[in-house]
């Protein structure tokens, strides 16, 4: 391409409603397998979206191989998980009661009236807990019922991807790719080095490769397909959240790794775009809120929320006791989301301070650049080299500050969007 460092500055958006033939939409293995985990409604929306852009879809052979090798095991595991839920739920409530009983019995007040009070407290608590377990069991069953585990999507995918799947690599082609893979992994050259710990071998269609090279094989197949001079844009839809695909700053995903964009440009005339399933689906729905729970891409990890299971259950009992129309599951959602909003507000305050400081630094930098320009105009050739070096150093610093500012402004937008959706959830709960 004729633009130096294009991979850092090219941010063209993709209009999925007006796709040209120069745009290739490529789905990753995890994106296809995850569809089995979605509700029937979300699953149907995603498949309809795929059909809408069917002419632009292309699937690497490696993706389809991994999908077919893993889908039956995935379905079997999901069915087992569903069958085990009632037993596991009952066990958790039983353990919670036992721990609470031990805690109460450790209160060392040696009198008959205290013993009677503790006995009555545990009886009342057990009754409340039993009611709550019924609510959780019913709500859990409702959740599980929105996923159809009897439907195998392989036939439907076969129709959508017909004649849109790449060819197999030969053993020679695989050996060529994997021969320098270890060196790439040691140098943290994306993609795939995060899978370096996988040790299994895969043998299929007369070839053998190590499982840890799966992402690298997919990437090479994408680059090979992009060599077609017609292709100018590759949109890779993946739910792989690892940093050997994505560039991240302070937990915020900025975009695909620059090394990937650069390597694709060196091997073709195509720009790389990367999105996840949620971002893909938003292009085809009027409701722009998330339809898929991006558990590994959340800004907040559930472990960071200062509410353990026991406190959530206890507070849920208290709230449901005060308001019979406000069930325990809603109480759980309210507690969880209020905590999230508090964390978001703190992060927004910090990010706004960072943005303000960066703007101050940029203003100072611009004044310095103006002063250097004035010196360049007045001084002779003897100091020209020194002044030029100083000028370009400050200009480079300004560009770096502007890039950092853009990243933090993007992070602020994401935080505000996350806050909006959480507040909407709370509003919906209150209306119910």
CA–CA distance, 23 with 272 (Å, rounded to integer):
10
For residue 299, what pLDDT is reported? 33
Virtual torsion, Cα 122, 128, 129, 131, nearest 10 deg: 150
Domains of the chain: 6-78+148-297 (no CATH), 301-432 (1.10.287)
Q: Average pLDDT, stretch 411-419?
A: 75
CA–CA distance, 233 with 22 (Å, rounded to integer):
6
More confident residue, 365 or 100: 100
Please say if the pLDDT value at position 401 is more than 60: yes
> Could you tell me if 270 and 234 are in contact, meaning their C-beta atoms sit under 8 angstroms apart?
yes
Chain segment 301-340, per-residue pLDDT in tens: 333 323 233 332 333 333 333 333 344 445 555 555 666 7
Chain segment 368-386, per-residue pLDDT in tens: 777 777 666 665 555 555 6
More confident residue, 265 or 370: 265
For residue 151, what pLDDT is reported? 76
317, 297, 253: which is closest to 93 by C-alpha?
A: 317
Highest mean pLDDT among 196-205, 216-225, 307-316: 216-225
> Could you tell me if 216 and 7 are in contact, meaning their C-beta atoms sit under 8 angstroms apart?
no
Q: How confident is the model at residue 170 (pLDDT cuts 50, 70, 90)?
A: very high
CA–CA distance, 83 with 77 (Å, rounded to integer):
10
Chain segment 21-56, per-residue pLDDT in tens: 999 999 999 999 999 888 888 899 999 999 999 999
Whole-angstrom CA distances from 50 to 83, 116, 160, 272, 276 are: 31, 65, 7, 19, 14
For residue 289, what pLDDT is reported? 54
For residue 224, what pLDDT is reported? 97
> Could you tell me if 3 and 9 are in contact, meaning their C-beta atoms sit under 8 angstroms apart?
yes
202, 75, 239, 203: which is closest to 147 by C-alpha?
A: 75
Q: 215 exposed, middle or buried (CB, 10 Å; 0-12, 13-18, 19+)? A: buried
246, 242, 308, 236: which is closest to 275 by C-alpha?
A: 236
- Which range (93-97, 229-233, 347-351, 374-378) has the least confidence? 374-378
Q: What percent of the chain has pLDDT over 90?
A: 35
More confident residue, 343 or 55: 55
Chain segment 138-157, per-residue pLDDT in tens: 888 888 888 887 777 888 89
For residue 407, what pLDDT is reported? 76
Q: For the chain, what is the mean pLDDT? A: 80
Q: What percent of the chain has pLDDT over 70?
A: 79
CA–CA distance, 202 with 329 (Å, rounded to integer):
44
Q: Average pLDDT, stretch 346-373?
A: 78
For residue 259, what pLDDT is reported? 94
For residue 431, what pLDDT is reported? 52
> Could you tell me if 219 and 251 are in contact, meaning their C-beta atoms sit under 8 angstroms apart?
no
For residue 308, what pLDDT is reported? 32
Please say if the pLDDT value at position 419 is more than 80: no
Q: Average pLDDT, stretch 65-72?
A: 93
CA–CA distance, 61 with 161 (Å, rounded to integer):
11
Q: Average pLDDT, stretch 89-99?
A: 89
305, 366, 313: which is closest to 341 by C-alpha?
A: 305
Contacting residues for 246 by C-beta, under 8 A, at least 6 apart: 253, 254, 255, 256, 257, 274
For residue 310, what pLDDT is reported? 35
Please say if the pLDDT value at position 245 is more than 90: yes
| φ and ψ of 24, to 5 deg | -110, 125
Cβ neighbours of 179 (radius 10 Å): 9
For residue 302, what pLDDT is reported? 31
For residue 389, what pLDDT is reported? 65
For residue 294, what pLDDT is reported? 57
pTM for the whole structure = 0.62
For residue 188, what pLDDT is reported? 92
- 16 DSSP 8-state letter: T
- 165 DSSP 8-state letter: B
- Which range (189-198, 268-277, 375-384, 393-402) has the least confidence? 375-384
345, 333, 350: which is closest to 293 by C-alpha?
A: 333
């Amino acid at each position: 391409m004729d633009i130096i460092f294009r991979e850092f500055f090219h941010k063209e958006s993709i209009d999925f409603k007006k796709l040209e033939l120069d745009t290739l939409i490529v789905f990753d293995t995890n994106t296809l397998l995850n569809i089995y985990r979605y509700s029937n409604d979300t699953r149907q929306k995603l498949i309809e979206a795929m059909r809408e852009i069917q002419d632009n879809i292309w699937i690497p052979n490696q993706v389809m191989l991994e999908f077919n090798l893993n889908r039956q095991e995935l379905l079997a595991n999901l069915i087992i998980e569903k069958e085990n839920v009632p037993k596991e739920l009952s066990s958790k409530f039983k353990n919670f009661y036992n721990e609470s009983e031990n805690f109460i019995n450790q209160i060392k007040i040696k009198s008959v009236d205290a013993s009677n009070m503790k006995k009555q407290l545990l009886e009342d608590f057990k009754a409340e807990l039993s009611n709550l377990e019924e609510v959780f069991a019913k709500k859990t069953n409702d959740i599980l019922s929105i996923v159809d585990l009897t439907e195998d999507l392989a036939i439907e995918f076969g129709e959508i991807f017909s004649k849109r799947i790449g060819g197999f690599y030969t053993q020679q082609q695989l050996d060529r790719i994997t021969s320098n893979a270890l060196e790439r992994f040691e140098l943290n050259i994306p993609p795939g080095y995060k899978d370096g710990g996988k040790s299994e071998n895969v043998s299929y269609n007369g070839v053998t490769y190590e499982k840890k090279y799966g992402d690298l094989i997919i990437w090479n197949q994408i680059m090979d397909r992009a060599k077609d001079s017609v292709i100018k844009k590759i949109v890779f839809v993946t739910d792989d959240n690892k940093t050997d695909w994505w560039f991240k700053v302070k937990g915020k995903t900025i975009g695909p790794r620059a090394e990937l964009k650069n390597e694709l440009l060196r091997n073709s005339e195509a720009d790389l775009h990367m999105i996840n399933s949620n971002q893909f689906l938003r292009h085809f729905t009027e409701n722009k809120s998330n339809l898929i729970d991006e558990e590994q891409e959340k800004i907040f990890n559930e472990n960071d929320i200062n509410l353990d299971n026991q406190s959530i259950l206890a507070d849920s009992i208290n709230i449901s006791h005060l308001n019979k129309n406000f069930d325990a599951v809603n109480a759980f959602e309210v507690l969880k989301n209020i905590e999230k909003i508090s964390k978001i507000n703190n992060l927004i305050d910090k990010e706004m301070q960072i943005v303000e400081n960066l703007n101050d630094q940029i203003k100072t930098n611009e004044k310095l650049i103006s002063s250097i320009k004035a010196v360049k105009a007045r001084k002779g050739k003897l100091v020209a080299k020194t002044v030029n070096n100083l000028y370009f150093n400050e200009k480079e610093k300004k560009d770096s500050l502007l890039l950092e500012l853009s990243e933090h402004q993007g992070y602020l937008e994401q935080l505000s969007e996350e806050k909006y959706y959480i507040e909407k959830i709370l509003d919906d709960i209150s209306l119910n």
